[in-house]
Chains A and B, each alone.
Chain A
Amino acid sequence: MQTTKRLWIGCLYCALVVFSAGARSEWGLDTAAGFTYDDNLSNSLEADDRKADTAAVIDLSGGLREQLGASTGLSLSLLANSQTYLRYSGLSNIGLGARVLLRTKFGLGAEAPWLAVAAQGVYHNYHYDYLDGWQYEAGATLGKQFGERWGLRASIRYDAYVAQQVQPPIILDKSGSPYDTYGWNLGVQATFLATDADLLALSFNWRTGTVTSVSGPDEEILEYSDRVAPTPVFGNPEFAYRINADTQTISLAWSHALDQRAAMNLVYAYRRSQAEYDLGDYSSNVITLSFSYTFY
């Protein structure tokens, strides 16, 4: 934890030096508010264990951007978000963190390809304390616009969630921190301006790593999971297991611009995970409706 803190302090220090040296930093704030519905919040393998709920979500991302040269810009943003669940209040949380992003263009003009490298860390404070922890992400995205209407991007990203507390182990040799997860992601996204106001985005993401799945007592899952802890989040006495899984997510987003700075967004995502050792599959459908506004 000390190393992590030092890393963050170092990043913030470097960013402050860069931004204080540049007199022409530009600031901006992206805001979004809406609702999201997930029909398998618990990532349950068995249909009977699936839990669905709706959350009110708020996302804020604001900060400074410094143009380092003709093609390269460095951004430092503070991130804040909240999710308030209507039914399973243990999952409600607020998050605070920061993101550093370096973006460079290979050439001149809107169609020049670009590369963005980003790292972020967000601390989430949940109603159910054992879920509290840091979510880290680091990755790179390569993008290119084709004409006025089409865009394509590909990304690679590493994510990790580090829970702050470890529950007392209930089984010998199995840690009590099933919420510590990590994974590698590969993604592609195509965007299309259907009209001058309507942007469609089709995305596919493949992730391999660990996930947390909640279900009742299950000997088979227990055998192949490396971490397990009881969880009261969904009301029943259940267990959270950490298992290895490959996850594919396909999503379709429709964003309708109300003006240059405001948009209504509707996103549907279908997620399917195949657990290791033939434990089974689970899937979920997530629908998010939000209003976004950009200040700058």
Chain B
Amino acid sequence: MTAGQRLAMLACLVLSASAHAAKLNAIVYASDGKPLPNAVVVAVPEDGRLPAVRKDIEVVDQIDKEFVPYVKPVRVGSYVQFPNRDNIRHHVYSFSPPKKFELPLYSGTPAQPVLFDKPGVVKLGCNIHDWMVGYLYVAETPYFGKSDGDGRVELDQLPAGRYRVRVWHPRMQGSEDATVQRMELQEAAPASVEWKLKLNREYRPRRTPLPGEPGYR
């Protein structure tokens, strides 16, 4: 087989793989009808077949005393680095049951990434700057995505089949399980799904102190 034939065969394989993949278009709204960014849409195959976990290293930065991104979905078994891009020190921690950890006062990038080996929501904080809040969503499946500014999530390359699809948002009222929709995803046409979520208020410590008070400084 010549090199040209091999290349043509490889291209056919790739095209055939993508031709057999299903696609899911999701859109998430707040209850007032506005598109909702930072919502995580997760699709779990009902047959339980999942590709092997890849030991990816994901990144959550600290920039201008905020976690960036604010919400980061990762697959269970992923390692996450927490580089500090500020020219001051941060002290990252979490009390969340899926992963309790602490990265004491550091600058730059810690030597060891943190392994997230249980699914669930991990709320991040900084012990120096109390207003810093971020979320890791640790999914049990590789089929997930985060909504953009228009509330849209596009999941592609999903094997055709039946799925349980759900959504999570840091401020959502009620449980994530209540959002589950069972869907048949086929290769022929993309499927669509949408949610309207009732949101809680977000109570975050403020950077600006009360008048006459020194705040955290």
| A residues apposed to B, CB below 8 Å | 24-26, 28, 30, 32, 59, 61, 63, 65, 67, 69-71, 73, 75, 77, 99, 101, 103, 105, 108-110, 112, 116, 118, 145, 148-149, 191, 193, 195-196, 199, 201, 253, 255, 257, 260-263, 265, 267, 288, 290, 292-294, 296
By DSSP majority rule, is chain B's interface helix, strand, loop, or mixed?
A: loop
Q: Which of A65, A71, A196, A260 contacts B208 (CB 8 A)?
A: A260
B88 and A24 form a contact (CB under 8 A): yes
B214 and A294 form a contact (CB under 8 A): no
CA distance A55 to B183 in the complex (A): 66
A65 / chain B contacts, CB cutoff of 8 Å: 217
**With an 8 A cutoff between CB atoms, is B131 at the interface?**
yes
B174 / chain A contacts, CB cutoff of 8 Å: none
B201 and A195 form a contact (CB under 8 A): yes
**With an 8 A cutoff between CB atoms, is B33 at the interface?**
no
Given the known A-B contacts A24-B87, A70-B104, A108-B127, are A292 and B208 also in contact in the complex, defined by CB atoms under 8 Å? yes
**With an 8 A cutoff between CB atoms, is B47 at the interface?**
no
B66 to chain A, nearest CB (A): 9
Q: Which of B88, B127, B204, B210 contacts A105 (CB 8 A)?
A: B127
B128 and A73 form a contact (CB under 8 A): yes
A193 / chain B contacts, CB cutoff of 8 Å: 203
Complex interface residues of chain B between 150 and 205 (CB less than 8 A to chain A): 201-205
CA distance A75 to B216 in the complex (A): 9
A63 and B107 form a contact (CB under 8 A): no
CA distance A265 to B214 in the complex (A): 15
Q: Which of B102, B211, B217 contacts A101 (CB 8 A)?
A: B217
B107 / chain A contacts, CB cutoff of 8 Å: 24
A108 to chain B, nearest CB (A): 6
A149 to chain B, nearest CB (A): 5
B210 and A253 form a contact (CB under 8 A): yes
A36 to chain B, nearest CB (A): 10
B127 and A263 form a contact (CB under 8 A): no
